[in-house]
């Protein structure tokens, strides 16, 4: 019987150790690797595209700068203002002053008998103007408008009519203070301004009811200051008056003389009239508002 050999004539294979498992590759890493590989393959093309993009951006910026509107100049601003004013002109300064004083303006009628308004009443009444200086219905007017009147009636800018009483007299300045019995709602008082800075040449308006017609407005300038006026009868001399050339006629008496900012600087009181026609010849006089305010018991400016 043949014996089995104790060893194999061919060398025995030693099994090699197993290879370590490969680390898993994430999807993001795979994408990054692929992108990097593509970039390396197309490096020249990418550089060319980047250069072209920068060139296009530069050209776009240049065009934008060239299209920027030119800076405004004084000539362009003036031209724009002229065009705007031509399209919608501003209201005249005189018109704005008139609108400011109108709510405080009143028509004053002094009736010298007990006859009611009618055909015979016109012969017995004086028509003038007045201005509200206190919103409770205190009104300034001329004394000669209401002197000797048995009844005084005032008409406000709203159309409201009211009886009024004489509460103060300042004969040295031909001024009278009235108190209306009935007043409109939200009655505004006029704004008064000192005459300390008033100068010849300053623009003013006279507002009132000349010959009973109105309210009427006329414009002019201050012609002089500290003037003196003697009544035609020679029995009355007024001093420290404002002389002005805005048209004033009988019926303007007691109305306000107003600056273009809408402030009252005087109360129209007389016109110089060397003839018997009683018409305006270019010289009117107003009592400074400081004197008028003192007549109403208001503190001086």
**Catalytically active residues, by annotation:** 144, 174, 253
Give every CB contact of residue 98 below 8 A, 6+ residues apart in sequence.
205, 207, 217, 258
Helices (H), 130-223: 143-146
| Contact (Cβ atoms closer than 8 angstroms) between residue 196 and residue 301 | yes
Query: Can you tell me the distance from the alpha carbon of 68 to that of 75, in angstroms, rounded to the nearest whole number?
Result: 19
Structure tokens at 173: 């300045």
What are the structure tokens assigned to 136, written together?
């409770």
DSSP string, 219-239: EEEEEEEEEEEE-TTSS-EEE
Terminal Cα distance for the chain, rounded: 157
Q: Which residue has the tokens 């300064």?
A: 93
Rounded Cα distance between 186 and 173, Å, is 30
């Amino acid at each position: 019987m043949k014996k089995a050999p104790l060893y194999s004539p061919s060398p025995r294979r030693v099994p090699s150790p197993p290879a370590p498992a490969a680390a898993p590759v994430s999807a993001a890493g795979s994408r990054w690797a692929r992108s990097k590989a593509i970039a390396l393959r197309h490096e020249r093309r990418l550089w060319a595209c980047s250069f072209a993009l920068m060139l296009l951006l530069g050209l776009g910026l240049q065009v934008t700068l060239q299209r920027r509107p030119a800076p405004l100049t004084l000539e362009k601003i003036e031209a724009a203002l002229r065009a705007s004013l031509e399209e919608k002109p501003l209201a005249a300064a005189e018109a704005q002053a008139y609108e400011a004083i109108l709510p405080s303006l009143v028509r004053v009628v002094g009736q010298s008998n007990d006859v009611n308004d009618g055909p015979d009443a016109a012969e017995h009444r004086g028509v003038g103007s007045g201005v509200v200086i206190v919103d409770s219905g205190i009104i300034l007017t001329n004394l000669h408008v209401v002197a000797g009147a048995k009844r005084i009636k005032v008409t406000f800018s709203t159309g409201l009519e009211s009886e009024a009483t004489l509460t103060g007299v300042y004969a040295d300045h031909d001024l009278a203070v009235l108190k209306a019995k009935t007043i409109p709602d939200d009655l505004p008082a006029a704004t008064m301004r000192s005459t300390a800075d008033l100068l010849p040449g300053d623009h003013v308006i006279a507002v009132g009811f000349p010959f009973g017609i109105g309210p009427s407005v006329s414009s002019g300038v201050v012609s002089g200051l500290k003037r003196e006026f003697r009544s035609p009868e020679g029995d009355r001399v007024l001093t420290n008056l404002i002389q002005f050339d805005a048209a004033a006629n009988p019926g303007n008496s007691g109305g306000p003389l107003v600056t273009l900012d809408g402030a009252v600087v005087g109360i129209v009181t007389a016109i110089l009239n060397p003839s018997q026609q009683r018409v305006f010849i270019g010289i009117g006089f107003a009592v400074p508002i400081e004197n008028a305010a003192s007549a109403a018991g208001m503190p001086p400016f």
